[in-house]
Structure 1
Amino acid sequence: MYDFSKVIEKHVPQAEIDEMFTSIESFSPARKGKPGQRFYLDQSDKRMCFLLYSGTCTIKRNSDSLILSTLRAHSIVGLQDIFHDKSDVQIIANSEIEYRLLSVDELFLHVEDKHLWKNICYMLMLSATRFSEYQKETVGVSNYELICNLLTSLSMESFEIRATTTALEYVQERSLLSRSGIMKTLSSLKAGGYVIIKKGLLIRINSLPKKF
């Protein structure tokens, strides 16, 4: 899936990302968030940026409730669609989190003052690379391939998500495929010994055939 924190390239500009987040700490107080807490990027006619310092979140599209991504620290959400009239995503905390919520204008003023545009560019380039990877995994693939890609994504999630989210729920919320079609594929993979699923939870992927 479109995992903002998934390492795709050998080199990730971690130093630049850390510098950006450390700099923002100097003028914006940290806040604590609880599991299930929701955040929106349009507040009082202002576009907002959400900065995640610790914990994990889910990014969901408002228009159809499609889950787009798992968000892990350190990440920024809110710059990818600032030219849209309104943001179409909400952020849902999966765990205890530490975050900061700033208006885009506040962030840009700070970036200009501290000469951090290079850092912002690195973060946006990294996000664009990961979105490209998301498209490869979800666009123009068969329903079976999409289910396999999402099962692989689920296997790499945190223990909390894997222990509380069924394979069916995980795939359906991230693909909008029919429940019956997903269940049929999961049942066939389980019967063939390709995956181990107990009480709906994915325990292990043994192997996933390219065609099924």
Structure 2
Amino acid sequence: MYDFSKVIEKSPPQLEFEDFFTSLKSLCAVRKGKPGQKFNLEQSDKRLCFILFSGTGLVKRVNDSLVLSTIHGPCIVGLQDIFHVKSDVQVSSTSEVEYSLVVASDLFSWAEEKGLWKNMCYMLMLSSTRFSEYQKETVGVSNYELICNLLYSLNKESFEIRATTTALEYIQTRSMLSRSGIMKTLSSLRIGGYITISKGLLIKINSLPKKF
């Protein structure tokens, strides 16, 4: 899935991010949040940016709660849809987090004042690159390929997520596939020895066939 950290780990401009987020703390107060908190990106008709300094969360589509991405601090959510009339995403924390909510226009003014537009552009370029990968994984693929991609994604998640989220739940919240269709495919893969599942949790991917 759209995991911002996958790109950061393979990209060189680490210093750009460190400077950017260190400086950001002078703009906004850093708050602490608990797992399960939800954050809307609008307040009093003003567009907000969610700044995640540490911790993990999910970005969900507002109209149907479809999970669009997993995020790890440090990152920013809210710049990607700034030209929409209303924000179409919501953030929910999956761990304890350190975060801030900043009015988008204030963030732009701050970047201009501090000369940090280049740093912000790196953030957007990385988001754009990873979103392109997300589209390759989810758009124009068969239902089976989508399930496989999401199984691989689940397998790369943190231990906490893998230990508390069933494969069915993970796939269903990140796709428009039916519950029965997902269960049928998972059952067939388990019986065939391609995956190991215990109490609904993905334990191991042995080898997923290209076609099934």
TM-score bracket, normalised by the shorter chain, equals: over 0.9
Q: Could you tell me whether the CA contact under 8 Å between 1:168 and 1:182 is conserved in 2?
A: yes
User: Does 2:40 align with 1:4?
Assistant: no
**Any gaps of 5 or more consecutive residues in structure 1?**
none
Spell out the pairing of 1:164-183 with structure 2 (5 A cutoff): 164-183=164-183
Q: Could you tell me whether the CA contact under 8 Å between 1:57 and 1:72 is conserved in 2?
A: yes
Give the SS at the match of 2:82.
coil
Return the offset for 1:12: 3.7
TM-superposition CA deviations, 1:5-63 (whole Å, max 9, x none): 21378434211111110001123111000000000001111100011111100111011
Please give the TM-score of this superposition, normalised by the length of structure 1: 0.97
Give the SS at the match of 1:48.
strand
Spell out the pairing of 1:105-124 with structure 2 (5 A cutoff): 105-124=105-124
Please give the alpha-carbon distance, in whole angstroms, between the structure 2 residues aligned to 1:97 and 1:25.
Answer: 15
Q: 2:211 corresponds to which residue?
A: 211
Give me the identity figure in percent.
71
**Any gaps of 5 or more consecutive residues in structure 2?**
none
Give the SS at the match of 1:174.
coil
Q: Could you tell me whether the CA contact under 8 Å between 2:7 and 2:126 is conserved in 1?
A: no
Please give the alpha-carbon distance, in whole angstroms, between the structure 1 residues aligned to 2:28 and 2:174.
Answer: 33
TM-superposition CA deviations, 1:138-195 (whole Å, max 9, x none): 0000000000000000011111111111000100110110011000100011011111
Q: 2:81 corresponds to which residue?
A: 81
The worse-fitting range, judged by mean Cα deviation, of 143-152 and 60-69 is 60-69
The residue identity in structure 2 corresponding to 1:79 is: L
Q: Could you tell me whether the CA contact under 8 Å between 1:20 and 1:116 is conserved in 2?
A: yes
Q: Could you tell me whether the CA contact under 8 Å between 2:63 and 2:88 is conserved in 1?
A: yes
Give the SS at the match of 2:173.
helix
Going from structure 1 to structure 2, the CA distance change for 1:95 and 1:10 (only over 3 Å counts) comes to closer
Q: How many residues align?
A: 212
Q: CA RMSD in A?
A: 1.1
Q: Could you tell me whether the CA contact under 8 Å between 1:58 and 1:91 is conserved in 2?
A: yes
List structure 1 segments (4+ residues) > 6 angstroms apart after TM superposition: none
Q: Could you tell me whether the CA contact under 8 Å between 1:8 and 1:130 is conserved in 2?
A: no
Please give the TM-score of this superposition, normalised by the length of structure 2: 0.97
TM-superposition CA deviations, 1:112-151 (whole Å, max 9, x none): 1100000011110110000000000000000000000000
Q: Could you tell me whether the CA contact under 8 Å between 2:56 and 2:93 is conserved in 1?
A: yes
Q: 1:99 corresponds to which residue?
A: 99
Q: Could you tell me whether the CA contact under 8 Å between 2:8 and 2:126 is conserved in 1?
A: no
Q: 2:162 corresponds to which residue?
A: 162
Spell out the pairing of 1:13-162 with structure 2 (5 A cutoff): 13-162=13-162
